A = this chain, B = another copy of it.
Amino acid sequence: MIVLFTDFGLEGPYTGQVMAVLQREAAGVPAVSLFADAPRARPRPAAYLLAAYGVWFPAGTVLLCVVDPGVGSARRAVIAEADGRLYVGPDNGLFDIALRRANAARLWEIAGNPGPLSASFHGRDLFAPVAARLARGEPPSSLAQPAENLSAERGWPDDLAEIVYVDHFGNAMTGLRGAAVPPGARLVARGQTTIEAAATFSAVPAGRAFWYVNANGLAEIAVNGGRADTALGLAIGSMVAIQG
């Protein structure tokens, strides 16, 4: 399976053109859009979101990942392997956290292009054809050169005490894995609001903010029957602290 993790948006031609390339180059391989609204042009929060959601997929999955504000510049294009999953995209930190958490990790730099390359849409012209070939079973070594993992140089933390995603319901995911928060601890959002843990929405009164470990293992802030983003002023990048 090929999984898309991008900041393209679902509307407009971007996801559709990438899907068309995948259908043409890897006919019969299912392709699913996981996130089309990953943090826009922000690889750092996107890296924590991707690490949490990527591991939900089985080994062998190819993840086509494009959060790429540096498209057209000299940033490297890479294939990263982490515990049997293959990530394809720009080397701007997007894969750092997934690689760091893996028991087995390797990196390749994509050299050369599979075809004509536009200046602004490497997702379609470079990353999608590479992902399709990986999904058809070609090894990374046939498409790219072994490369050094530069992720340590960025010095990003193991867990990120910030909001990394706000969903359709107004729930705000942090970059903190549930296991990084002590049982019974509270979260403090933007230095202003102290939030208790709860097991699920139906365990708290309507209108009450709470945090819980979401279905992919991230600490997430929600309001039962309401929107945490507007109630607490949360957006991608908002700071969160652990109390107690």
Contact = CB atoms under 8 A, between A and B. Distances in A.
B20 A201 contact: no
Interface stretch (A79-87, A115-123, A145-153): A115-123
Contacts of A215: 118-121, 124-125
A114 interface: no
Interface residues of A, number: 55
Q: Which 5 A-B pairs have the closest CB atoms?
A: A9-B168, A72-B200, A121-B215, A118-B215, A73-B202
Interface in A39-64: 40-41, 53, 56-58
Given A13-B216, A118-B215, A120-B215, 18 more contacts: A3-B16, A9-B11, A10-B10, A11-B168, A13-B167, A16-B32, A16-B35, A17-B56, A19-B32, A20-B57, A24-B58, A40-B169, A69-B201, A72-B200, A73-B200, A119-B200, A120-B212, A121-B215
Contacts of A203: 72
A27 interface: yes
Contacts of A214: 118, 120-121
Contact of A36 (B11, B32, B72, B119): B11
Interface of A: 1, 3-4, 8-14, 16-17, 19-20, 23-24, 27, 30, 32-37, 40-41, 53, 56-58, 69-73, 118-121, 124-125, 165, 167-169, 199-203, 212, 214-216, 225
A216 B121 CA distance: 9
Contacts of A4: 16
A41 B169 CA distance: 10
A78 B24 CA distance: 27
15 contacts: A9-B167, A9-B168, A11-B35, A12-B37, A12-B168, A13-B35, A16-B34, A17-B56, A23-B30, A71-B200, A71-B202, A72-B202, A120-B212, A120-B215, A121-B214
Nearest to A119: B200
A13 B52 CA distance: 11
Given A118-B215, A168-B11, A20 B36 contact: no
Contacts of A225: 41, 69
Contacts of A8: 168
Given A20-B34, A70-B202, A11 B13 contact: no
